[in-house]
Amino acid sequence: MPASERPVVTRIAPSPTGSMHIGTARTALFNWLYARHSGGTFLLRIEDTDRERSTEANVQVILDGLAWLGLEPDAPPVFQFARAERHRAVVARLLETGGAYRCWMTVEELAAEREIARAEGRAIRSPWRDRDPPAGVNLPHVVRFKGPLDGETLVHDLVKGTVRFGNRELDDLVLLRSDGAPTYNLAVVVDDHDMGITHVIRGDDHLNNAARQTLIYQALGWSLPEFAHLPLIHGPDGAKLSKRHGAQAVGEFADMGYLPEAMRNYLARLGWGHGDDELFSDAQAIAWFDVRDVVKAPARLDWNKIAHVNNHYVRAADDARLTSLTLEAMARRGETIAEDARDRLMSAVPLVKEGAKTVLELLDLSRFALVHRPIAIDAKSEALLTEEVRARLGRLAKHLWSQEDWTPAALTVALRAFAESEGVGLGKFGGPLRATLSGGLPAPDLASALTALGRDESLGRIADALSPRK
């Protein structure tokens, strides 16, 4: 049955090479969205055939990355290397049906053929295509695919449209290396077929492979999956994404304090979109997403947009969750936190999150609440505390002492009433009060800062600042 008529099965097929690239995250997201949109299945295949880089730790990076992104597959992962016997069996079948041949070309012969092929503007061919095996058969050899010499291979891509490849330019690729190891293109075809993948959605750096893979499917008499090749993600300057553009690994985004739901929302718009909608829920994305609507042009990473989207989700996030994320960020930096500071953090988070673009910013904005008495007061803040101001703050402290309702609204009223009783504007003591409460660290408006600190801590900090210098 053609893939388009079967229930949708998508997959993400990362190689466990160390970190999980943001492009892989976007590919995973699109596969996940398309599967969810179609009521289908989203699978994971770990392409661990590179035995040196494929460590358990690197596999864990992928599992953790997907779990963090909230894109967990619907079945346990398939490990490609473990399927090598099956890959070899398929190659044996191709050898029997004439779809593949053994090739005894030496390194030197291959180099010479490469030169000739380049000069003639064609892909390399092996003389063993149409030759009988040499005598003394057990010489080391590879198995090559026996591709057509002329004509065209068409890839009907759901994003790129129909892409034509001249078969002259597609070489007889190696299916099995001389040590019997299956190669990438062969393994991908066999695994996608066996896993029942209907839609191969991946980065467009694999478009050329789609032509080679199409030929292998045809040689095996298997029905083709639908292909959809996604435009790459570029940096803000339009150049290919690289280290100098900043973070690239999913783990780095997590560590900087981006929220997974914000990443899903932001990444969904890299190459796809729903009109001008910038902010949307998973449910909306799932309802709207169709891989056919992905655009061809490369998408650009835009740090301002990520920050904007993330700020939206930080504001919407549950305070207890944000508090524990902030504590995790501190733990990662090796910072410990005492019980009382933890309580103040919990009170500060809802009052400062409005301005936080990331969890790390949430930490910066909460820092004033975390420091311990007596807090350090920077020189600029200290300079505000003149004799006159100190006297006034002393009266303010008394005023606040009798303040029962310790909430932003009530404290705003109390501060105003105090200003009135002093016959001055809030400006006359607002700055200095802030100095005593935060010592010059960023802090929210006064009523919020007082609320976050609580009565005892606030009055204690004011008293510390007013007490005679040591």
Question: With binding defined as CB under 6 A, does residue 233 bind ligand GLU?
Answer: no
Closest CA to 8 of 45, 46, 36, 44: 36
**Catalytic residue of the set 146, 160, 240, 243:** 243
Instruction: Determine, following the binding rule CB under 6 A, whether residue 204 of this chain makes contact with ligand GLU.
Output: no
Per the structure block, which two tokens stand in for 160? 């790129």
Taking the least distance from each CB to ligand GLU, the nearer of 204 and 261 is: 204
Q: What's the start-to-end Cα distance of the chain, in Å?
A: 85
Least gap, CB of 75 to ligand GLU (angstroms): 17
Size of residue set near ligand GLU by CB under 6 A: 7
**According to the binding rule CB under 6 A, does residue 155 interact with ligand GLU?**
no
Single out the residue of 94, 188, 263, 396 in contact with ligand GLU (rule: CB under 6 A): 188
For the window 422-451, what string marks contact with ligand GLU as x by the rule CB under 6 A?
------------------------------
Closest distance of CB 13 from ligand GLU, Å: 4
Residue 15 as a binder of ligand GLU (CB under 6 A): the answer is: yes
Instruction: Let me know: does 178 contact 141? Beta carbons within 8 Å.
Output: yes
Q: Scan for tokens 């030197």, then name that residue.
A: 108
DSSP string, 45-97: EE----TTT--HHHHHHHHHHHHHHT---SSPPEESGGGHHHHHHHHHHHHHH
Does 14 sit near ligand GLU (CB under 6 A)? Answer: yes
Opening angle at CA 30, ends 77 and 270, nearest 5: 135
Select from 387, 403, 383, 391 the least CA-distant residue to 446: 403
206 part of the interface to ligand GLU, by CB under 6 A: yes
Within 366-425, the residues that bind ligand GLU by CB under 6 A are: none
- For ligand GLU, the binding residues in 37-76 under the rule CB under 6 A are 47
Shortest spacing between CB 239 and ligand GLU, in angstroms? 20
Identity of the residue numbered 163: V
By CB under 6 A, which span of 11-19, 84-92, 106-114, 145-153 interacts with ligand GLU? 11-19
Cβ-contact 152, 56 below 8 angstroms: no
202 touching ligand GLU, by CB under 6 A: yes
CB of 186 to ligand GLU, least distance (A): 12
In this structure, are residues 99 and 129 in contact, taking their beta carbons and an 8 Å threshold?
A: no
Between 15 and 167, CB nearer to ligand GLU: 15
| Side chain identity at residue 154, one-letter code | L
Q: How many CB atoms lie within 10 A of CB 171?
A: 19
Nearest residue (CB) to ligand GLU, 88 versus 229: 229
- For residue 13, state whether it binds ligand GLU (rule: CB under 6 A): yes
Q: Which stretch binds ligand GLU (CB under 6 A): 10-18, 355-363, 382-390, 406-414?
A: 10-18
Q: Could you confirm whether 243 is annotated as catalytic?
A: yes
128-151 burial code (b ≥16 CB/10 A, e <16): beeeeeeeeeeeebbbbbbbeeee
Neighbours of 232 (CB within 10 A): 16
Tell me which residues are annotated as active site.
Answer: 243
Contact positions toward ligand GLU, by CB under 6 A? 13-15, 47, 188, 202, 206
